Structure 1
Amino acid sequence: MILKKVKLLLKNRIVLFFGFFTAILLLNFFSTGMLFPTTETKDLWFYSGIFMVLFTILFIEPYYSSPKNVITNTVPLILVFLAIKNDIADQTQWWVIISVLITLLVVSVIAMMLDDKNSSPTAFRNKLSERLKNIAIFFGKGKRLYSAIFLYFLLVYYVGQNDLNWYVFCLLVIWAFILLIDQNDLTNAFVGSKKEKDKSAIGQIFGIESQKMFLVKLFNDSRSLKKFDVVKFNYSMRNTQKTYTGVVFDHHLLNQEQWIKVLWLGECKTYTKHLIDDTVYITSGEEKNDLLQELEIDNFAGVVVEGSEIGKIKFEYSKKEDNLQEGDLLELKVGDMRLFYQVVSGTTNKEHLEARNESGFIIGEAVQLGEWRGNELSFNKFGWVPQINTPIFMAKTADLDVPKYSLPDYKLGNIPGTTLPSIINLDEAISHHTALLGITGSGKSHLAREIVRELSSNTKVIIVDFTGEWARELDDLSIENMAVGGGNIDDFLKDESKPIGIITVPDMSNTEDILDQTQKLFERVFNFAKQKYQDDEPCKIALVLEEAHTITPEANFLGVGGDFGKAKAIISKMSQIALQGRKYGVGMLVIAQRTANVSKTVLTQCNTVICFQAYDETSFNFLGNYVGKSFVEALPNLKQYHAIVTGKAVRSNMPMIIDLTKEP
């Protein structure tokens, strides 16, 4: 204990100062008979030399190092040398010394004048200012400058005098020991205590930005820190004896001082000891590894920021591994609830720290899905907004309950990167009509074929195909190929052995003949279903309209020649059949590339929408009513086989991005 106190005293600035100062005075007394050196020129080694070396090392340089301090060092020395000019025998030496001092002074002044806080750090004058600052600080540092003065006067006035050689030697030894002082190991404490600062202490809490984010000023001797380093601390304002854990969220240099933001993540339950209140400690070794795992730092994605709403949060993105993508699922805690949000966008921003210093960061947006309800295979929306700086993590869904399901429930896909399925009720999807929208190659036809395979077990499926691909893709099933006008449609509808009928239309244009033939087909299917309904033998029929813009085009895109009014009337009648057919068990699966070309009367009857990648403004405007602005803005960036799903048949009560890639 005594040895520990002695070591602490030997690191104290004041103790060291008076210790070395006393040693120099005693040495001078035994050598010259006087306690203090004279004020003659030859003894300036003391007043402008070793004394200033000791003073700057202990009290100035640990706190300041800038051109202002170089000016403070050089101006007094210039005045001293101007005063003793006639006392120096070798005037060349005098001119060299005074020139160096004036040069350092001028360089420091120019560096400060060039510094433009309203310009970017990369501006030429600021880059030049920074270089001049570095030169001035390197050569004008008190330790170097005053050491040079000390050696000059000692060598010029004392070396060579045989009776004082031992005196010079002792002074050089004392000077060497002063230079060996480790500024980063110094302290102002005289007495140790249970709460004395240890080497893991990195800074002190200066303020609190919110309930969870602390602003910390780092000690000058703090070890190098990185984002996501784990720290612990006691916060005096909480009036508890608990130790809290957090993570370094951000790191800034402000006014030549280092600052960090610490995000509080929880209570430290394993590695606790008596810590100084409001002092932050870095963790290391086994403690750090355990806390990294306990706090799930690898899954940490950011914090909630201002501008968040009940249905959509904004968050400052900060992830150890930069791999967040649109559609990824995030989670956060509000009380005991785990709430899930889906990433829909991200934008870059700049924060002005001071004058010309800026810090770049990313603000993400995520739409609330809610709390997972396994028994419903859906989410339950939460009715409030999380607090600012609430930690956000990449969702871990392996522990969530996903019960088994069967037809008519069908798994479209998973939320990207998770095991949570998106379930659609196929009976409702067809009875209330479903639209598959997206550009060529996005995956809509592939999904349509998968849905048809599932439907064929209990539903009559009639496919109007302009591509010729359906027959090839479904050749392993029992298929009835029918004429364009549906000549054998009644026989097909009555034949229970063939669930799928394909009408291949050779012409891709919406001519009057094709529209007329399609109308007749719809009427015959409608009348068949209506009769079945009246006979109390309801049936289920799905009309799959590939290239729907050809079969049910918007009036603006009618490609017929001749009687435009007649063609428009046909479209109106087809839309009316689509509207009324639902009552009798006739539903549609509408497949189109662009909503602009498809009858809006038909599309607006589609109560379930599955939209793949899209670019056109008309699709954005139409889909905005279904999925909202946030998801509409995500449409151009969707990956292949990723889609936004929403509507009556989808189990989730919120739109969401899903990955339709089938598991091997």
Structure 2
Amino acid sequence: MTDEVVKLKPRLSQRSRLIIALIYLTAGSLLAWVKLGRFPGLGSYDVWFWSGYVVIVVGTLLDAPWYTKPIDALTNAIGSLIAALGLNPDTSVAAGAFAQKFQILGIALSSVGIIIALTAIWYKDSESMRLRYLAFMGTKICAQLGAPSIMFGPIMLSSLIWSFYNQVDTLILMTIVLAVLLFGRPLERGWGFLSEAFGRGPALLRKVGKPLAWNHPGIVEFELDASAAVAPRDVVVICAPGQEAELGIVVDLFVLSDRKWGRTILTGVQLSKTDLRYSVSPGESDVGIFKVNPAQLPEDVRERLGEHPISIRADSFLGLVSDQTDILHLVFDLLTPHPELAEGSLVTTEINNDRVVYQIVNATVKERGLDAQSVRGVLSVEAVKLGKWTDAGPEPVKWVPRPNTPVFLVPPKGAAFDLSTVGVVPRSSVYVRPDINRMVHHNTAIIGVLGAGKSTIAYQIIHRMIREGINVLVIDITDQYSISLSHLFREDENRSRTTKIQMAIAPTVNRVDQSPERGGNIVDFRRALAEEMNSFMDGEDRLWIVNPQHFDVTMQEGRPSGSAAAFRHLSMVEITKHVAEAALTKVQADGLSESARLCIVLEEAHSLVPEFNSAASKQDQEAAVGTARVVMQGRKYGLGFLVVTQRTANVSKSVLNQCHTVVALRNFDLRAQEFLEPYLGPHFVRVLPTLEQHHGIVYGPGFNLQQPLLVKFWDYEEFKNAALEQWGSQILTERGVGEAEVAEENLSLDDEVPF
């Protein structure tokens, strides 16, 4: 078989065009000097002719030699309009009246050019598909109508007629000059001819395959010749009868049935018939895929090819948008494996010219092939839409990407620790910033199995709440918070609050009263609790840790029999309710508030606010309902809750359902996954059992997120050390600790951590 080739004609280089422009300008100056006895533009009437001459030479050879962008068309149109308005031919003379017709034509042409160019620029990024199409058509018109030769042609002709109407020989000569400049372009043609004649002829593009199918939009499938050497990201020219040759970028290569196949994405960059010369062997057609070295392409074609997304981000190209993509989810076949790709990685694609971020949540192996007998395995990757990323986080983006739109990996980068954030998206430098005020106002739930890191994340959030001036009341039956957060509160003051309540209720633990509701020490407990709540909220301390098991609270059951009565000891569920109600009473007394004032942390929430069918008694059921009522009513007074649990099935849904911000850590419980699915969606729920330590899925107003996001949280010890290093003085002095204690605390940190 004889080789089939296509010849790619060279275009003038920028240096060549500069030389030609200088020749044109020099020739024009010499012509004016010889014929008129002066340099161009020094006459009173021909200034606009020579101005147009310069603009056309510079514009067509240097500024926009191949095509005119809307912004260039706008510049040309405004310039020509100013020039047209500056003409003032004498209409009492026949030549002046004739020149005025071209002046009017120039004004009309310039005005239309301005309108079309502004339309193309204004609606280029419109959300309306119809307006974007209008901008596209405007761009196409600007490419032709906005050229300097079109815009300034009528102005030059008007100036020419009025300037030289009484010098017939000069008028004829200048008309010839104008025609040659606008239509002849002799120097450009001659330069190209000489380049070919002296060894700089057309490059030969050898055929490497033949197209088999056009998959709309923008994909051509092809079969490679057996000996063809083609690699992914190679540039090819697709030639077909009756169509302009178009450049494509190879995105996929594979072997099936001992034959080579591939796919190329069309770039929209076409080569005109003046750029290509077909040289086809006898019996062959001019249909084919031709490999091209981008360096051989004309300069303007090379520039436009370089603007294609795959050319710009070749190293991060992953694949193309495929079927089953919907409004919320992206599906693409992985065409370019990447070692850093994993669940949680961020990828981007375009929707209506917006770069939209997605997060990978799943990948499955699927079969693709030409028919049932010829198949290959591919990885089909699923990702969830996050939105258009801004400094404040992702913003929602409507609609879906077009089929076959390129998908790119957000380059993996190491992220330095940032105290103002809770962590980063895995394998990226995308930070996740909390909104602590909204986190409290909208209530927050931290859910995960034992050892997943729930408490350490709660510790970080508590630090931030105190930093924001929000009081934190922790109800903790494990006493772990008192140990882990000892640097944030005065232990003696915290112990004093507990002791005062214990002393207030101890004498009346078995008090008998004719009115059962006054029997026992419940009344004294409520009174002492209210006093300590007021003291805490109005004082300098920001953190109060309460263990319900440290209080022996009793209620008399029924009327006494003589001096004896039966008593019931309140459970920690009931004590939790009373603590919550005391907090609500205090914030209600302080009035409505749009800012968070107090957050109650429910550690091991399944033991403090159990689900109805998990409660140990009827009293616990009623108490859990009472706490849920406080959760519901507290928001408008600046009271919120942080619910920490590993067993969502056993936590009151009346409480959990009011937690609009969610932090979901590793979880294997099916009932927990069922509860989380409305918040996170099925894709993220499937990821929960595989989450690593300190990784979680966050969602809600507390993170300014309208879509779930997989996050790697900072290590707590690193966070704590940095918080005390940068915030310590401010936090500690606000709660009333002296400067000497602050210095001592920071000194001990310096001894342990080599900053």
Give TM class, smaller chain. Answer: 0.5 to 0.7
Q: Tell me what 1:461 maps to.
A: 472
Distance 1:453-1:616 versus aligned 2 partners, 3 A rule: same
Task: Tell me if the contact between 1:529 and 1:538 (Cα under 8 Å) persists in the aligned partners.
Answer: no
Q: Distance in 1 between matches of 2:208 and 2:638?
A: 71
Q: Tell me what 2:363 maps to.
A: 346
Q: Distance in 1 between matches of 2:652 and 2:368?
A: 48
Q: Distance in 2 between matches of 1:493 and 1:237?
A: 84
SS of the residue 2:360 aligns to: strand
Matched, 1:621 2:674: yes
Matched, 1:232 2:236: yes
Say which of 199, 204, 216 aligns to 2:210. Answer: 204
Distance 1:459-1:440 versus aligned 2 partners, 3 A rule: same
Paired-residue identity, %:
25
Distance 1:295-1:591 versus aligned 2 partners, 3 A rule: same
Q: Post-superposition shift, 1:241?
A: 5.5
Matched, 1:390 2:405: yes
Distance 1:349-1:241 versus aligned 2 partners, 3 A rule: closer
Q: Distance in 2 between matches of 1:596 and 1:275?
A: 74
Q: Post-superposition shift, 1:533?
A: 1.8
Q: Tell me what 2:536 maps to.
A: 493
List per-residue Cα deviations over 1:157-196 (Å, max 9, x = no partner): xxxxxxxxxxxxxxxxxxxxxxxxxxxxxxxxxxxx9686
Q: Tell me what 1:478 maps to.
A: 489
Matched, 1:556 2:571: no
Say which of 642, 645, 648 aligns to 2:701. Answer: 648
Matched, 1:220 2:200: no
List per-residue Cα deviations over 1:35-83 (Å, max 9, x = no partner): xxxxxxxxxxxxxxxxxxxxxxxxxxxxxxxxxxxxxxxxxxxxxxxxx
Q: Which amino acid aligns with 1:252?
A: V
Say which of 374, 392, 395 aligns to 1:357. Answer: 374
Structure 1 alignment gaps of length 5 or more: 1-7, 13-192, 399-404
List per-residue Cα deviations over 1:361-394 (Å, max 9, x = no partner): 11111111222233xx132322222122111001
Q: Distance in 2 between matches of 1:630 and 1:608?
A: 18
Q: Which amino acid aligns with 2:235?
A: V
Q: Distance in 2 between matches of 1:370 and 1:524?
A: 42
Distance 1:646-1:238 versus aligned 2 partners, 3 A rule: farther
Task: Tell me if the contact between 1:332 and 1:340 (Cα under 8 Å) persists in the aligned partners.
Answer: yes
Q: Tell me what 2:621 maps to.
A: 568
Distance 1:502-1:211 versus aligned 2 partners, 3 A rule: same
Say which of 584, 591, 613 aligns to 1:533. Answer: 591
Q: Distance in 2 between matches of 1:501 and 1:324?
A: 44
- Please give the residue correspondences for 1:365-384 in structure 2 after superposition, counting only pairs within 5 Å: 365-374=382-391, 377-384=392-399
Q: Which amino acid aligns with 1:519?
A: K
Q: Tell me what 1:513 maps to.
A: 571
Q: As a proportion of its length, which structure holds more helix?
A: 2
Q: Tell me what 1:23 maps to.
A: none
Q: Post-superposition shift, 1:208?
A: 1.4
SS of the residue 2:357 aligns to: strand
Say which of 341, 348, 353 aligns to 1:324. Answer: 341
- Please give the residue correspondences for 1:248-263 in structure 2 after superposition, counting only pairs within 5 Å: 248-254=251-257, 256-263=258-265
- Please give the residue correspondences for 1:428-447 in structure 2 after superposition, counting only pairs within 5 Å: 428-447=438-457
Q: Distance in 2 between matches of 1:337 and 1:459?
A: 39
Task: Tell me if the contact between 1:247 and 1:265 (Cα under 8 Å) persists in the aligned partners.
Answer: no
Task: Tell me if the contact between 1:303 and 1:389 (Cα under 8 Å) persists in the aligned partners.
Answer: yes
Task: Tell me if the contact between 1:207 and 1:214 (Cα under 8 Å) persists in the aligned partners.
Answer: yes
Q: Distance in 1 between matches of 2:606 and 2:384?
A: 32
Say which of 312, 319, 324 aligns to 1:307. Answer: 324
Q: Tell me what 1:543 maps to.
A: 600
Q: Distance in 2 between matches of 1:579 and 1:597?
A: 19
Task: Tell me if the contact between 1:334 and 1:386 (Cα under 8 Å) persists in the aligned partners.
Answer: yes
Q: Post-superposition shift, 1:299?
A: 0.6
Q: Tell me what 1:639 maps to.
A: 692
Task: Tell me if the contact between 2:351 and 2:399 (Cα under 8 Å) persists in the aligned partners.
Answer: no
Q: Distance in 2 between matches of 1:539 and 1:394?
A: 39
Distance 1:323-1:445 versus aligned 2 partners, 3 A rule: same
Matched, 1:522 2:580: yes
Task: Tell me if the contact between 1:422 and 1:651 (Cα under 8 Å) persists in the aligned partners.
Answer: no
Distance 1:285-1:338 versus aligned 2 partners, 3 A rule: closer
Q: Which amino acid aligns with 1:500?
A: L
List per-residue Cα deviations over 1:488-521 (Å, max 9, x = no partner): 73364245321101113569xxx95212222221
Task: Tell me if the contact between 1:411 and 1:423 (Cα under 8 Å) persists in the aligned partners.
Answer: yes
Q: Tell me what 1:630 maps to.
A: 683
Q: Which amino acid aligns with 1:525?
A: A
Q: Which amino acid aligns with 1:448?
A: A
Q: Distance in 2 between matches of 1:214 and 1:295?
A: 21
List per-residue Cα deviations over 1:107-158 (Å, max 9, x = no partner): xxxxxxxxxxxxxxxxxxxxxxxxxxxxxxxxxxxxxxxxxxxxxxxxxxxx
Q: Post-superposition shift, 1:595?
A: 0.9
Taking structure 1 as the reference length, what is the TM-score of the superposition?
0.61
Task: Tell me if the contact between 1:461 and 1:543 (Cα under 8 Å) persists in the aligned partners.
Answer: yes
SS of the residue 2:428 aligns to: coil
Q: Distance in 2 between matches of 1:274 and 1:524?
A: 85
Q: Distance in 2 between matches of 1:208 and 1:538?
A: 59
Taking structure 2 as the reference length, what is the TM-score of the superposition?
0.54
Q: Post-superposition shift, 1:462?
A: 0.6
Q: Distance in 2 between matches of 1:599 and 1:449?
A: 23
The alignment yields a C-alpha RMSD, in angstroms, of 3.6
Task: Tell me if the contact between 1:232 and 1:268 (Cα under 8 Å) persists in the aligned partners.
Answer: no
Q: Post-superposition shift, 1:355?
A: 5.2
Q: Post-superposition shift, 1:554?
A: 0.9
Distance 1:206-1:247 versus aligned 2 partners, 3 A rule: same
Q: Post-superposition shift, 1:324?
A: 1.5
